[in-house]
């Protein structure tokens, strides 16, 4: 079920998808299942979507950019950076430990059934990898998506550097 109208991005803010995600937590319970829109509420966040945890471009280029610019993004008014992937929660838990090992605080969110990616029209069939999210970055202000950057191949517009330019 696609709920987004891509033609409207940049013209008027769009709602954060309501799909269920599993958030990786630091507490006694490793997983917190919530609807993404309810978790984001009216905060300013960046939701970055990746095709898969531990895949080459995601692990070596996309996420490291957000780690390197994390404080700059917070300084520009971002409350949290959320990394979303159509992976199972256990994979995202391991990915959180790998990416945040030096003290970064990027929140990992598993979209195990691809609900959020589907609602955004970004769920794609990647052959042997199955259905995954396209690579994207969404700037959310006051709980509404105000900018959406989707990479059709590789890493280009969904980078941390591009997000910084638009804040």
**Which pair of tokens denotes residue 98?**
């790998």
Give the helix/strand (H/E) hosting 107: strand 107-110
Q: Choosing from 24, 40, 45, 58, which is the catalytic residue?
A: 58
Phi and psi at residue 129, to the nearest 5°:
-80, -10
58 carries an active-site annotation: yes
CA-to-CA distance for 51 and 61, rounded, in angstroms?
13
Q: Which one, of 149, 143, 152, 153, lies nearest residue 161 by Cα? A: 149
Q: What is the dihedral of CA 152, 4, 159, 113, to 10 degrees?
A: -80
Q: Catalytic positions, please?
A: 58
């Amino acid at each position: 079920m696609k709920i987004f109208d891509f033609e409207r991005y940049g013209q008027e803010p769009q709602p954060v998808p309501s799909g269920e995600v599993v958030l990786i937590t630091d507490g006694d319970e490793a997983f917190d299942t919530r609807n993404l829109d309810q978790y984001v509420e009216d905060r300013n966040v960046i939701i970055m979507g990746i095709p898969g945890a531990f895949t080459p471009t995601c692990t070596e280029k996309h996420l490291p950019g957000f780690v390197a610019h994390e404080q700059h993004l917070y300084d520009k008014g971002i409350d949290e950076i959320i990394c979303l992937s159509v992976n199972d929660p256990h994979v995202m838990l391991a990915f959180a430990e790998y990416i945040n090992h030096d003290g970064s605080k990027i929140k990992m969110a598993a979209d195990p059934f691809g609900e959020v990616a589907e609602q955004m029209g970004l769920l794609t069939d990647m052959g042997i990898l199955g259905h995954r999210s396209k690579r994207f970055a969404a700037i959310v202000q006051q709980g509404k998506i105000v900018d959406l950057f989707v990479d059709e191949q590789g890493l280009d517009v969904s980078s941390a550097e591009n997000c910084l330019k638009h804040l």
